[in-house]
Amino acid sequence: MIQSAARQCLTVGSRMHTSPQTILYIEDDPASRSLVSRTLTHAGYRVLVAERGLEGIDIARRERPDLILTDINLPDLSGREVTTKLRSEPQFQTTPIVALTAQSLHEFRDMALAAGITGYLTKPIDVETLPQRVEYYLRGGRDTIEQEKLTEAQVRYAQEVVGRLEDQIRELESANSALRRLDKMKDTFIQLTAHELRTPLTLVFGYSRLIEDAAPIRALVNSDPNLQVLMKGLQDSIKRMQDIINEILTISRIMTNQIDLSIAPVHPGLVAERVVNNLLPALQTRRVTLHFDRSTWPELMRGDADLLALALANLLNNAIKYTPDGGHVYLTASADDQVIRFSVKDTGIGIAPEEQERIFERFHTAGDTTLHSTSKVAFLGGGLGLGLAICKGIIEAHGGRIWVESDGYDPERLPGSEFLVELPVDSTRHPAGKS
């Protein structure tokens, strides 16, 4: 006869429970799960179920069940391994863990006990006796095994675990190399596609220039303001597409370690000035004030001027892009004998702490992609999420580092962001830098 576990427990003195005792049942077979759940629930227990070993461990840690019933053959960790893992945690050292399995041979039972199992029940499940067996183990009952058999079973169990570990490592290694192959194929695909697109685009750009320069067309365009707007739109769009393709090519070179620095003496102030001058129209359109005093910049360093300019341009573009109209951007630098530091600080929307590392990953954009626009500097008009990955690649190839500081993301309060860069004064000393 099935009795209520809650009622039974009231009579057990020191182990008195006012709420039903909890049983966690780890089993991948739905029919067994449902039968055992029904039987034990009917007997007054609270029953939790897990379909896999790792899920069972998680639920056990969270719910601290009074007893764990587990199948042995599970899709991930075996019931034995689940037990060994749980036994290594102080809160489960005395929890009854009972196997409920179709493996009826003695060797299997011995190995389960060697793994730390308290009791061993075999299928088919006997719904008449199951609640009593559970009650027995809950009251401290346990199966026994002779010492000699236990030692033998421990050796077999250790061999089984190591064997499984080896299989898993081999499987992981082969999955890893398949992923690496796929990753390489994707890099090659991106690189080839960008190359293929660049050639016709260069032609389109050239043809548009030829058309514009043809005398009759020039006369026509000059006489019609609408045509001037169309021509400018055409050229801006071509330029934007060229920038995107170049960004993709640069990032794929950086990511495949094909970045080739042309190290030479560089005047950082001059580089910065050149970048700032290119941004003047955008600053004007967006009414953003850029604070930059070239006279305070260090005189000389060694590095790749074009790539450093690209990194700085990306940082300044972002500072403008993520700062509302009328805001401020500060570009400053300092240096000692070894290191040159520069900072791009803005009064914009800021960056959430959890995003501050991820934004340097390629194709990571923290903003709302529906707000993206084709403009590089329109407020919140995002790009491909490549700009900062490119900056990081360039700075690190120079042996430097880049990071961001911000009090968080808040488009109302505008906490701003500061991107900080440290570069060795002489990048030739870094392995990636070649003169």
Scanning 148-156, 159-167, 251-259, 315-323 for contacts with ligand ADP by CB under 6 A, the matching segment is 315-323
Task: Name which of 202, 208, 257 is nearest 230 in CA terms.
Answer: 208
Give the SS3 label for residue 291. Answer: strand
Q: Which residues pair with 422 in a beta bridge?
A: 341, 401
Scanning 50-58, 62-70, 294-302, 384-392 for contacts with ligand ADP by CB under 6 A, the matching segment is 384-392
What separation in angstroms does the CA of 269 have from each of 147, 281, 292, 337, 413? 79, 20, 10, 17, 32
Residue from 59, 366, 414, 432 touching ligand ADP (CB under 6 A): that is 366
Task: Name which of 131, 122, 25 is nearest 69 in CA terms.
Answer: 25
Residue from 382, 393, 399, 424 touching ligand ADP (CB under 6 A): that is 382
Residue from 318, 347, 356, 427 touching ligand ADP (CB under 6 A): that is 318
Residue from 72, 309, 359, 402 touching ligand ADP (CB under 6 A): that is 359
Listed as own residue / partner, the contacts of 198-206 with beta carbons closer than 8 Å and 24 or more positions apart are 198/242, 198/245, 198/246, 198/249, 201/238, 201/241, 201/242, 201/245, 202/242, 204/238, 205/235, 205/238, 205/239, 205/242
Calpha distance 292→331 (Å, rounded): 5
Contact (CB, 8 A) for 46 and 22: yes
Scanning 199-207, 248-256, 285-293, 311-319 for contacts with ligand ADP by CB under 6 A, the matching segment is 311-319
Scanning 168-176, 209-217, 287-295, 312-320 for contacts with ligand ADP by CB under 6 A, the matching segment is 312-320
Scanning 230-238, 251-259, 271-279, 343-351 for contacts with ligand ADP by CB under 6 A, the matching segment is 343-351
Least Cβ distance, residue 350 to ligand ADP (angstroms) = 6
Toward ligand ADP, which CB reaches closer, 131 or 383? 383
As given in the structure block, the two tokens for residue 34 are: 């449902």
User: Any contact of residue 379 with ligand ADP (CB under 6 A)?
Assistant: no
User: Any contact of residue 351 with ligand ADP (CB under 6 A)?
Assistant: yes
Interaction with ligand ADP in 399-418: which residues (CB under 6 A)? 417
Contact (CB, 8 A) for 116 and 103: no
# binding residues, ligand ADP (CB under 6 A): 22
User: Any contact of residue 248 with ligand ADP (CB under 6 A)?
Assistant: no
Residue from 242, 256, 365, 428 touching ligand ADP (CB under 6 A): that is 365
Least Cβ distance, residue 417 to ligand ADP (angstroms) = 4
What separation in angstroms does the CA of 82 have from each of 154, 236, 342? 15, 62, 53
Least Cβ distance, residue 363 to ligand ADP (angstroms) = 8
Calpha distance 323→315 (Å, rounded): 12
* Residue 58 amino acid letter: D
- Measured from the Cβ of residue 343, the count of other Cβ atoms closer than 10 Å reads 15
Toward ligand ADP, which CB reaches closer, 117 or 389? 389
Least Cβ distance, residue 326 to ligand ADP (angstroms) = 16
Residue from 48, 319, 333, 377 touching ligand ADP (CB under 6 A): that is 319
The CB-side HSE value for 50 (13 A sphere, CA atoms) comes to 28
Q: How many helices (H) and strands (E) does the chain have?
A: 12, 12
User: Any contact of residue 327 with ligand ADP (CB under 6 A)?
Assistant: no
- In this structure, are strands 46-50 and 67-70 parallel, antiparallel, or unpaired? unpaired
Scanning 60-68, 97-105, 304-312, 360-368 for contacts with ligand ADP by CB under 6 A, the matching segment is 360-368
Toward ligand ADP, which CB reaches closer, 111 or 351? 351
User: Any contact of residue 385 with ligand ADP (CB under 6 A)?
Assistant: yes
Scanning 13-21, 103-111, 134-142, 379-387 for contacts with ligand ADP by CB under 6 A, the matching segment is 379-387
Binding site for ligand ADP (CB under 6 A): 314, 318-319, 322, 346, 348-349, 351, 359, 364-367, 382-389, 417
